[in-house]
């Protein structure tokens, strides 16, 4: 029986390539959130023709939403002939800007040497197309399958997911009893199951000084020099401490298997965009944005206290040191248990299709699983899809066609197993 499923997916190879190309050709660049409506409609109308009920849900009043750039999501739902669980495939339809360095037009997909090149092929329209083809083949091979299949195309993952999965989760669309198992086809490789991600905390630190004439800096107080003291404390105390901190989370790549901190930006003194010469001033402020990625072993309160503690020590030891710190964004680490049903189902499908044990990984960065866990309280969720994460957001991004076909077979088998679990 499952052989019929695999041969159907093999037969749909050209359809899979064409669907990926069609999706890539819709330039859903975020920011600003271009072409979300045509992309959502393209996906929704295709699945409507396959018997899915379609809902278009706009992330009204979410960051970036406007009549010019509506945050349009689509959920396709197909209820089977008999009751049963619901398996949901969630893909983001937004892509990051093309950037420089492309050898062909990023939104005119090129099929060459068994690969499709274009912005979003890997992250993650190839995965979206694989899940669509997998579900279409599954329905054709098993028309009276019990349970419910859902496929969603959601927006804004690249900018936090607030107009997309977070918005839908707040409406109960990623919670039981509506949904039981979620697979997110992010590009984690066809033989890997991604159980979750590290935590993230973004904050802005400002060191404050006093403006004065640049010829007499002793009359002022330089905010940039205070920030240099912060950076020095980071170098001598914080970075060494973070690099010592190891985790039990199986994060890939290996280098991310510890706590990290990126200095996202620093601005001090004169604005950067001006014509002519700068005016002679002592900077009265310097601002730095930090991007701290943390481990499941680290409570977020400790993560924050480590930074504020360092700043407080500077305030007592360094004359005139004053600072402000402001939270910008945070998400807790999440890690689905290895014996969760969706993990077992996809692992079994990988063994069957690829003839090997799956690798279990954790993503260094977050993705929409955070909203499904925190807002939807649904923990039977993983990322699984074709493509190599390192290629995401790069010029000449590509996805391998064989990898897409293989992962479509895994997705279809896994969905079949989850829908028929406990049944003959």
> Which helix H or strand E contains 291, and what residues bound it?
strand 285-294
On the question of a cis peptide bond just before residue 124, with omega within 30 degrees of 0, the verdict is yes
CB of 217 to Zn ion, least distance (A): 47
The partner residues of 90 in beta bridges, in order of sequence, read 152
Size of the site for Zn ion (CB under 5 A): 3
Angle separating helix axes 401-420 and 2-11, nearest 10 degrees: 150
What spatial distance separates the first Cα and last Cα of the chain, rounded to whole Å? 13
DSSP-derived secondary structure letter, 158: G
Residues 304-343 that bind Zn ion (CB under 5 A): none
Q: Which stretch binds Zn ion (CB under 5 A): 57-65, 184-192, 270-278, 325-333?
A: 184-192
Nearest residue to Zn ion, scored by beta-carbon proximity: 123
CB of 9 to Zn ion, least distance (A): 23
| Nearest one of 137, 186, 196, 189 to 158, comparing CA atoms | 186
186-205 mask for Zn ion (x: CB under 5 A)? Answer: x-------------------
- Does 184 help bind Zn ion (rule: CB under 5 A)? no
CB of 404 to Zn ion, least distance (A): 15
Contacts of 201 (CB under 8 A, 6+ apart): 290, 291, 292, 294, 300, 303, 304, 327, 329, 330
d(CA 140, CA 45): 18
Nearer to Zn ion, 91 or 285 (CB): 91
> Which helix H or strand E contains 194, and what residues bound it?
strand 192-197
SS3 234: helix
CB of 200 to Zn ion, least distance (A): 15
CB of 332 to Zn ion, least distance (A): 19
Nearer to Zn ion, 186 or 403 (CB): 186
Residues 114-133 that bind Zn ion (CB under 5 A): 123-124
Nearer to Zn ion, 303 or 408 (CB): 408
| Nearest one of 122, 195, 147, 73 to 407, comparing CA atoms | 122
Nearer to Zn ion, 284 or 397 (CB): 397
CB of 186 to Zn ion, least distance (A): 5
Nearer to Zn ion, 188 or 286 (CB): 188
CB of 372 to Zn ion, least distance (A): 14
d(CA 132, CA 46): 10
Nearer to Zn ion, 30 or 336 (CB): 30
CA-only gyration radius of the chain, Å: 24
The partner residues of 400 in beta bridges, in order of sequence, read 115
- Does 155 help bind Zn ion (rule: CB under 5 A)? no
Nearer to Zn ion, 156 or 298 (CB): 156
CB of 351 to Zn ion, least distance (A): 26
Contact residues for Zn ion, defined by CB under 5 A: 123-124, 186
């Amino acid at each position: 029986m499952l052989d019929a499923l695999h041969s159907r997916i093999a037969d749909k190879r050209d359809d899979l390539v064409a669907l990926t190309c069609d999706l890539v050709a819709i330039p859903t660049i975020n920011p600003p959130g271009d072409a979300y409506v045509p992309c959502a409609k393209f996906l929704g109308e295709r699945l409507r023709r396959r018997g899915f009920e379609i809902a278009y849900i706009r992330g009204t009043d979410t960051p970036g939403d406007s009549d010019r750039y509506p945050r349009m999501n689509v959920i396709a739902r197909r209820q089977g002939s008999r009751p049963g669980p619901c398996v949901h495939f969630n893909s983001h339809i937004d892509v990051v800007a093309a950037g420089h360095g492309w050898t062909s037009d990023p939104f005119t997909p090129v099929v060459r040497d068994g690969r499709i090149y274009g912005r979003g092929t890997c992250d993650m329209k190839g995965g979206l197309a694989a899940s669509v083809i997998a579900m279409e083949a599954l329905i054709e091979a098993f028309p009276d399958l019990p349970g419910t299949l859902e496929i969603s195309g959601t927006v804004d993952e690249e900018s936090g997911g607030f107009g997309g999965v977070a918005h839908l989760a707040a409406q109960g669309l990623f919670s039981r009893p509506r949904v039981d198992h979620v697979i997110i086809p992010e590009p984690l490789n066809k033989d890997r199951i991604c159980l979750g991600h590290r935590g993230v905390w973004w904050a802005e630190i400002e060191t404050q000084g006093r403006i004065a004439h640049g010829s007499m800096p002793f009359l002022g107080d330089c905010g940039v020099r205070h920030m240099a003291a912060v950076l020095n404390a980071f170098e001598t105390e914080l970075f060494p401490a973070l690099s010592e901190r190891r985790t039990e989370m199986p994060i890939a790549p290996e280098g991310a298997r510890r706590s990290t901190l990126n200095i996202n930006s620093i601005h001090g003194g004169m604005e950067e965009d001006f014509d002519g010469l700068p005016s002679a001033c002592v900077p009265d402020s310097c601002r730095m944005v930090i991007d701290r990625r943390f481990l499941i072993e680290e409570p977020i309160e400790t993560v924050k206290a480590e930074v504020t503690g360092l700043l407080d020590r500077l305030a007592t030891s360094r004359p005139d040191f004053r600072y402000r710190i402001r939270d910008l964004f945070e998400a807790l680490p999440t890690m689905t248990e290895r014996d969760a049903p969706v993990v077992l189902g996809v692992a079994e499908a990988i063994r069957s299709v690829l003839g090997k044990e799956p690798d279990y990984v954790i993503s260094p960065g977050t993705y929409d699983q955070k909203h499904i866990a925190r807002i939807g309280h649904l923990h039977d969720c993983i990322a699984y899809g074709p493509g190599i994460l390192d290629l995401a957001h790069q010029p000449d991004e590509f996805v391998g066609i064989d990898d897409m076909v293989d992962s479509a077979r895994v997705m279809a088998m896994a969905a079949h197993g989850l829908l028929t679990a406990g049944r003959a």
